[in-house]
Structure 1
Amino acid sequence: MKQHLIILISLSLMAINLSAQSEKKMVREGNSQFEDGNFSDAEIEYRKALDKKPGYYKGTFNLGDAMYAQENFEESGKLFAEVAEGVHSDEQKAGAFYNLGNSLMKEQKYKESIEAYKNSLRLKPDDQDAKYNLAYARKKLDEQQQQEQNQDQDQDKDQDKDKDKQDQDKEQDKDKQDQDQDKKDQDKKDQNQDKKDDQQKDQQPQPQQISKEDAQRMLDALKNDEKKTLEELQKQKAKATKSMKTEIDW
């Protein structure tokens, strides 16, 4: 019974050892492909190793390197963050934070990359590469913030220009409306004047029509006046004749 137990334990240890050798072999194969510049093939080998042993430090870290080399910076950042949060040595975690900072830098996430480099230096204070990259990330962050500020100022200027143009357009529209209103008022004034003239024409006295009887009476009156006038003239003429006659006689 004891012999069977010893054999089973030995077989189990052999299986574990073979499994460890298998995942390590896959990582080594991935490293070979990586060194030859075959990053996609290296990725395949690293993923195989992680399928055999999920969370395997070397497999995860090196897969992050392969993704970074293929410019998949978002994926590489996730892998390095996973390593940094795992239970590993300070040196391993410092390396993971450093690579995380590099991935974030490529994504222009300078503020986040600064924190990653700081975490790396907390674990490995003498890392000159981390110090250099930290300073560079701070410089890029300042440039980014300055650029955003300039863009905001340019946007404000554009908005002011648009507002000025809108005000100018409104003023032009108002002038046009005033001109149109003046024209309408003038047209209305002319129309009123024409109407007034027409009314005055309508109000001018028209020749009155008289009846035939009235006309006859007026004619008779004129004749009577003429008769009276003629009689008066004849009287005056008679007086004048007498005077002259009297003078001749003597």
Structure 2
Amino acid sequence: MKCMNKYIVFAVALLFSLTLSAQKAERKQIRDGNKLYENEQYTEAEIAYRKALEVNPNSPQSSMNLGNALYRQQKAQEALEQYQKQVADKEHPERQADAYHNIGNVLMQAQDYAHAIEAYKQSLMKRPSDDETRYNLALAQALLKQQQEQQQNQDQEQQEDQQEQEQQQEQQQQPQEQEQQQDQQQQEQQQPENAHERLSKEQAQQLLDALMQDEEEVQEKVKELQMQQSQSRKTDKDW
């Protein structure tokens, strides 16, 4: 029994020693990462914080600092993933406030001002006295208003450009339509002329027929007169 107790004590001591060693290794990596971060060596700082997380995957400090190093490298999505882990920690509102503040900064960098405003508001709910967060909130609101005005102006310009293009198309189509109308009017005018020409030919034929008929009547009358004169001469001779 005494031997068993010795083993238990030894195991506990060993476990405690390993835990202390791991904590020392984690703190060392965090300190190294912080120095590198202060010197703006963000890539090297990221490596140090990741090593700290390998020792203790649940380290909130390593996760938050890693998010900051990623943010400085423009790795927005990866930074958000680290900050969102801290947002879920409801037992530490100060940590949540920092995480929401940093999320707002990432969204500001992406010009997603509407969601950045929501993140800053969440941070202020956890820590209302944070002047820096209040300033960032006011800045995000101003930038959102400016963005909306620019979008409205852009939409108006696009609408005006579209209207101008439509007017140009209408102006280009008008001469074509006028030419088509003129061609149609000329065709309509030509049709009566052709009908008139056909009518004139018919009238000419009728006149020709009438003249021929009149000629025949004249010839017959001439013949009658000649016969009458001939008979008259015969009568005179008989007398």
Instruction: Tell me the equivalent position of 2:142.
Output: 139
Residue among 115, 131, 138 paired with 1:128? 131
**2:236 aligned with 1:205:** no
Listed one character per residue, the Cα deviations across residues 24-61 of structure 1 (whole Å, up to 9, x for unaligned) are 32222222322232211221222232233223211111
Which of 80, 87, 100 lines up with 1:84 in the alignment? Answer: 87
Q: Distance in 1 between matches of 2:193 and 2:112?
A: 74
Q: Provide TM-score, normalisation by structure 2.
A: 0.79
Whole-angstrom distance in 1 between the partners of 2:104 and 2:59: 21
Q: Which deviates further from its counterpart, 46-55 or 95-104?
A: 46-55
Q: Flag structure 2 segments of 5+ consecutive residues without an equivalent.
A: 214-218
Q: Deviations over 1:109-143 (max 9, x none)?
A: 11211222222222222222112111111111111
Q: TM-score, normalised by structure 1?
A: 0.76
Instruction: For 1:89, give the aligned amino acid.
Output: H
RMSD of the alignment, in Å? 3.3
User: Match for 2:230: what amino acid?
Assistant: K
Contact 1:110 1:137 survives alignment (8 Å): yes
- Aligned: 1:54 with 2:63: no
Q: Point out the more displaced range, 98-107 or 81-90.
A: 81-90
Q: 2:199 aligns with which of 196, 199, 221?
A: 196
Compared CA separation, residues 95 and 219, structure 1 to 2 (3 A) = closer
Confirm whether residue 72 of structure 1 aligns to residue 83 of structure 2: no
Q: Distance in 2 between matches of 1:200 and 1:67?
A: 102
Q: Secondary structure of 1:37's partner? A: coil
Note if contact 1:27-1:46 (Cα within 8 Å) is conserved in structure 2. yes
Report the count of equivalent residues.
230
Q: Distance in 2 between matches of 1:159 and 1:220?
A: 91
Deviations 1:67-92 (A, max 9, x none): 11112233323322322222453332
Identity of aligned residues (%): 31
Partner of 2:179: 176
- Decide whether aligned partners of structure 1 residues 232 and 18 sit closer, same or farther in structure 2, where only a CA change above 3 A counts: farther
Task: Please name the residue that 1:21 is paired with.
Answer: 24
Give the whole-Å Cα distance in 1 for the aligned partners of 2:70 and 2:130. Answer: 24
What is the CA-CA distance between 1:106 and the residue it aligns to?
0.9
Sort the Cα spacing of 1:173 and 1:199 in 2 relative to 1 into closer, same or farther, 3 A. Answer: same
Q: Secondary structure at the match of 1:125?
A: coil
| Distance across 1 between alignment mates of 2:9 and 2:66 | 38
Q: Secondary structure at the match of 2:208?
A: coil
Q: Any gaps of 5 or more consecutive residues in structure 1?
A: 209-214, 239-250
1:5 equivalent among 4, 8, 14: 8
The structural deviation recorded for 1:66 is 0.8
Structure showing greater Rg: 1
Distance 1:201 1:220, change over 3 A: closer
Cα distance in 1 between the residues matched to 2:224 and 2:192: 51
